[in-house]
Amino acid sequence: MSALKWNLKDLFENDELVESSIKLLTKSSLAFRNKYENKLKDVSNFAECIKEYEDLLQEVSHIMSYAFLSFASDTTQGAFYAKCEEECKIIEENLLFFELEFCALDDEFSKKLIDENKDYSFYLSNLLKDKKHRLSKQEERIMLYLSSTGADAFARLFDESLTELKVKFEGKKLGIEEILSKLYSKDRSERKRAAKNFSKKLKKNSKLLAYILNTIRKELRVKSTLRAYEDAESFRHISNQISRKSVDALIKTSEANFSIVAKYYKKKKELLGFKELKDYDRYAPLGKDLNIKFDEAKDIVLKAFEAFSPLFSDIAKQAFDEHWIDVYPANNKRGGAFSHSTTKKAHPYVLLNYTDKRRDLFTLAHELGHSIHQKLSYKVSFLNQDTPLTTAETASVFAEMLVFDYVKKNLKNEELLGLYASKIEDIFATLFRQINFTTFERIIHAKDAELSVDEINSIWLKESKKMFQDSLSLSDNYKYWWSYIPHFIHSPFYCYAYSYAQLLVLALYGLYKSKKLDNFTGLYIDMLSSGGSKSPAELIAKFGFNVDDEKFWKIGILEIQNLVDEFLRFKI
């Protein structure tokens, strides 16, 4: 087993064992159903019942993690993924009654069960909060079975189509990650050609990609109507355990500070010596570029994590040593990067598409931050380990800041300029660009009719231009770039969670650097170890912050302003 490929044998030795596990789990789930369905109100030992339910769900997750990761590393394995998904739907159907019947219990009895089962109190309380959006058992059964032929199926089509998409460039055919890496080239003509060729390929596939997006929109609208959600994004706020009001405050605060972005890019234009900055110049390197091989990146990350907490570096070292990571781009491999949690029976898995660029160092830190969070959250039960997206992104962005501060200590002049520019642009991408993505989604999901490619293009350009104001020109080619963003397909209204986490982390990181809180590291590790067993507001309150206060978001904005002000002091 190559150290640069992940080892799925920690989940299952082979596909045949997965199939055997599915058969056994199908029998176990049916036995659970026969034992408890329509009898939940009369169960004498609810603690035993919910533990059995949790164990069965964990086994389903274990199986589907293997199937998903097999598909992510080789998207030609779609048939196996689909087969596992279909067979696990039968298992999930057998378990479907549990949450529905719990929500149907009378209030006094359900409160009694919550009080008696402290380890699951937060999970059970959240079930009740979502009670009014649940359908009948028969309707939920139909929704369950149709899920694999609806948005999930089109998400798979999206992944397979984007994986197969190759862009001609200088006699080669490049995948998306490889062509996008050209936007970081020092050669402006190379950046321009890469952007132009990529745009042409997106345009050629735009009808298919628009159809997929429209299908996602339609299904979300139908589900929102059936479940009586206020609008298309309501389900995400409930899942994230935050209010629409707090999201609106986040967006309002961010949009009110787009001038920070404009200020930065005007300075960048000056430093580059250009009369006009184009969209393909956004990531043009400043100063001396850093070419960082994976082994070097590994060493940097481990040392940066060690300086914060030995526990952080220990988990990261385990990830490197025990083959949690699939490192380089490959044929049929999914693009992008992620850390997939799996279960406490195994460990998180990290997918990268490492191309030896500076940004790849921070992607590595980002995904290992997720892995550390996921690994620590195994300390709570399976039903409690998943965190809302708003706090799930906290550990990843915090890890990036640790690496940034570690690296900058050893750099001078041109290298330091390049690092600052890269970091600021990463923050812009994580904060302001995700706000653009969210407002784009708000507009397209608010429209009832199917949208044409031209209509989507127009909305995309309008929202994207807000961020840059008059500092940078978005070319006509850029209007197709909505079409490769996976979150629009896989996780509608996911993107504001990045913005939420970015500002939250900057506030937390500022507190950490100030040394005003002696036990910060301990509190932070405790927060990550809590997984999803407490609300984001409760977790952050330990640090003295109120996430519902509009003033809170301005703390993070001030940190960005300070970083940009430091950048503005660099000379040509």
Q: What is the CATH number of the domain that holds 110?
A: 1.20.140.70
pLDDT confidence of residue 2: 64
Q: Which two tokens stand for residue 59?
A: 């086994």
Q: Which two tokens stand for residue 565?
A: 């002000």
**C-alpha 271 chain-centroid distance:** 33
CB 411 within 8 A of CB 264: no
Please indicate, yes or no, if residue 33 is contained in any of the structural domains.
Answer: yes
Q: Which residues contact 291 (CB under 8 A, 6 or more apart)?
A: 356, 357
Give the residues across from 172 on adjacent strands.
169
Give the domain range for residue 81: 15-132
CB 330 within 8 A of CB 156: no
Please indicate, yes or no, if residue 313 is contained in any of the structural domains.
Answer: yes
Please indicate, yes or no, if residue 473 is contained in any of the structural domains.
Answer: no
CB 314 within 8 A of CB 307: no
**C-alpha 265 chain-centroid distance:** 27
Handedness of CA 172, 175, 177, 180 (dihedral sign): positive
DSSP reduced 3-state for 174: strand
CB 553 within 8 A of CB 249: yes
Please indicate, yes or no, if residue 305 is contained in any of the structural domains.
Answer: yes
Residue that is last in its domain, among 132, 153, 174:
132
Please indicate, yes or no, if residue 338 is contained in any of the structural domains.
Answer: yes
Please indicate, yes or no, if residue 317 is contained in any of the structural domains.
Answer: yes
DSSP reduced 3-state for 325: strand
CA distance 495 to 509: 21
Residue that is last in its domain, among 383, 410, 437:
410
- How far from 549 is each of 506, 517, 537, 540, CA to CA, in Å? 16, 21, 11, 12
CB 334 within 8 A of CB 16: no
Element (H, E) at 350: strand 349-351
Q: Which two tokens stand for residue 392?
A: 């799930």
Greatest CA span in the chain, whole angstroms?
Answer: 76
In this prediction the pTM is 0.80
DSSP reduced 3-state for 537: helix
3-state helix, strand, coil in the chain (%, to 5): 70, 5, 25
572 residues of the chain, pLDDT tens digit each: 467 999 899 999 999 999 999 999 999 999 999 999 999 989 999 999 999 999 999 999 999 999 999 999 999 988 999 999 999 999 999 999 999 999 999 989 999 999 999 999 999 998 988 888 887 888 888 888 887 788 889 999 999 999 899 999 999 999 998 999 899 899 999 999 999 999 999 999 999 999 999 999 999 999 999 989 999 999 998 888 888 888 998 899 999 999 999 999 999 999 999 999 999 999 999 988 778 999 999 999 999 999 999 999 999 999 999 999 999 999 899 888 999 999 999 999 999 999 998 889 999 999 999 999 999 999 999 999 988 878 888 899 899 999 999 999 888 888 899 889 989 998 999 899 999 999 999 999 999 999 999 999 999 999 999 999 999 999 999 999 999 999 999 999 999 988 988 888 898 998 898 898 889 999 999 999 999 888 888 888 888 888 777 777 888 899 899 999 999 998 76
Q: Number of folded domains in the chain?
A: 2
Residue that is last in its domain, among 363, 387, 410:
410
Please indicate, yes or no, if residue 405 is contained in any of the structural domains.
Answer: yes
Please indicate, yes or no, if residue 55 is contained in any of the structural domains.
Answer: yes
